[in-house]
Structure 1
Amino acid sequence: MPFTVRGGFGGGTYAAKASASMLANPTPVGFVFDHWQTTVALRATFAVPTRLDMPARAMLSPVYRAASAWTSVVKVRPNGSNVYHYYPAPAAHFKGIMSFHHGATGTMRLVRE
């Protein structure tokens, strides 16, 4: 069964009831990923990567929405590294928080206990 991903990756021809993965294209500057537009059931409609169990035919398109302008807060840690953060208000609208961490030396190290 064929399925098409417009604005992403993963389309193709798969056996009926096979599980297929797809990924939206990188988000355009000034926008955020909002959801997948489709008429079939996805395992995660609001996730950039998602999967579906093949129906007879499917077409999916990622939907983006304009991002609000924002400025991050910068704090200098005692070790001299900068930490940036931004939490939009109200907090009740959070769907999740992603954080990225890196050592102050510019290199990663594995710490074993």
Structure 2
Amino acid sequence: MALSAGTVIGLPASRIIADSVGVAAEMIALAAVALIAFGMVLLLMPSTPAPRTLGYLAQVRSAFTPTAMLSLLAAVALQASVFSLYAYITEYFSTRLWGFPA
């Protein structure tokens, strides 16, 4: 949900910054937000060491099971549909709600 909210808010906001100030300012703002998020992850996420139960070859083999491949395909399809929807949401917010040309 946070990824979706961040994208729905971030796409129109970055477009507004790029249109009003320039692409360089948009990239600087993106880098600043990424650094803030990285700092929050470092400070707020607890350390949770995991026990080593599977070897490397067993982990690679488990990635190619039919269940894992079907899950990967479903995740790719879901993300593709979500990000294609963002293009329409950005267009709607830009033109109808905020009055910026597309």
- TM-score category, normalised to shorter length: under 0.3
Q: Which structure has greater helix proportion?
A: 2
Choose between structure 1 and 2 for higher RCO, CA contacts under 8 A separated by at least 6 residues. Answer: 2
Larger strand proportion of the pair: 1
